[in-house]
């Protein structure tokens, strides 16, 4: 029940109440939620407060809105384990989803950014491919990816290749052996343009993953900064007990 005397904001109480209903299985993925008006009548709270509660659950990915219809319970998020080095295409195919890309930028340029040069061990005379793509699964945008790829290893890369799997090309066509990567995960926000590309609210949270990938013999190959939709993705790691 909603307690109006409580110091806990009413919108938060309502969001918790909806969350509990979902956990109890009262609503399942695909179900339509009661309207804002029904919630506001039932709990005697303003529609603005109802909207705030629903928006917070939409931003978390638990609910989604369909224009002109209502609010629906979302499918569970994609659970991505962080145990090994895989490509986006492999990850999606393993789930029975079809990966695709929307290429935003593809250029071979001198590596002008010092932060990238430092990671890739390059000088100002070295070239990188700067690649930016929206990564989609079953035509749903999942992430925006910015790649800086050491051009020395793949002089003939062209834009058609990165319309599909980059790792496939690197390993099967270019004869490279990808060895290992270091990955960092942090919370981030995105620009208005990026929110439009990801089809999320402009203030929706995203998960920023930075990956530094190395070839088998240890040479740095790529720096990748990806912004994943926090409403569609969660990452999990297995932790052996350390003593
Ligand atoms: C993933 C990798 C990225 C790699 C890409 C290749 C992260 C954060 N990034 O998105 O480093 O370049 O896969 O994917 O996991 P592709 O082979 O499907 O093009």
Q: Where are the domains of the chain?
A: 10-73, 78-236
pLDDT, one tens digit per residue, over 51-96 is 999 999 998 889 999 888 999 999 888 999 998 999 999 999 998 9
Q: What is the dihedral of CA 172, 178, 181, 186, to 10 degrees?
A: -20
Model confidence at 170, pLDDT cuts 50, 70, 90, reads very high
ipTM for this prediction: 0.96
The alpha carbon dihedral of 168, 161, 87, 30 has a sign of negative
Residues 6+ apart with CB under 8 A from 77: 61, 231, 232, 233, 234
Say whether pLDDT at 208 is over 90: yes
CATH of 78-236, one of 3.40.1410.10, 3.30.43.10, 1.20.120.1200, 1.10.10.350: 3.40.1410.10
Query: Does the Cβ of 146 fall within 6 Å of ligand 1?
Result: no
Q: Tell me the CATH architecture of domain 10-73.
A: Orthogonal Bundle (1.10)
Distance CA 124, CA 24 (A): 58
Ligand 1 binding pocket mutation candidate from 224, 229, 236 (most atoms within 8 A of CB): 224
Query: Does the Cβ of 211 fall within 6 Å of ligand 1?
Result: yes
Nearest CA to ligand 1 atom 7: 211
User: Chain centroid to CA 65: how far?
Assistant: 19
Nearest CA to ligand 1 atom 5: 87
Output the pTM of the full model: 0.84
């Amino acid at each position: 029940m909603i307690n109006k005397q409580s110091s806990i904001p009413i919108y938060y109480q309502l969001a918790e109440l909806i969350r509990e209903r979902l956990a109890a299985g009262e609503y399942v993925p695909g179900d339509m939620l009661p309207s804002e008006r029904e919630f506001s009548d039932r709990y005697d709270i303003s529609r603005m407060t109802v909207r705030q509660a629903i928006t917070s659950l939409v931003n978390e990915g638990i609910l989604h809105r369909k224009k002109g219809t209502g609010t629906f319970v979302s499918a569970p998020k994609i659970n991505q384990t962080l145990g090994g080095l895989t490509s986006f295409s492999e990850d999606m195919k393993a789930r029975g989803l079809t990966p695709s890309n929307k290429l935003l930028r593809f250029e071979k340029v001198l590596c002008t950014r010092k932060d990238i040069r430092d990671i890739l061990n390059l000088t100002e005379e070295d070239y990188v491919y700067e690649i930016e793509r929206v990564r989609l699964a079953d035509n749903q945008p999942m992430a925006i990816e910015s790649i800086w790829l050491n051009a020395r290893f793949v002089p003939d890369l062209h834009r058609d290749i990165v319309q599909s799997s980059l790792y496939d090309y690197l390993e099967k066509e270019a004869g490279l052996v990808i060895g290992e990567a270091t990955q960092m995960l942090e919370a981030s926000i995105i620009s208005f343009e990026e929110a439009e590309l990801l089809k999320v609210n402009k203030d929706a949270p995203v998960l920023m993953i930075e990956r530094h990938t190395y070839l088998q013999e240890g040479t740095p190959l790529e720096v990748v900064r990806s912004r994943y939709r926090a409403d569609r993705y969660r990452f999990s790691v297995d932790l052996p007990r350390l003593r």
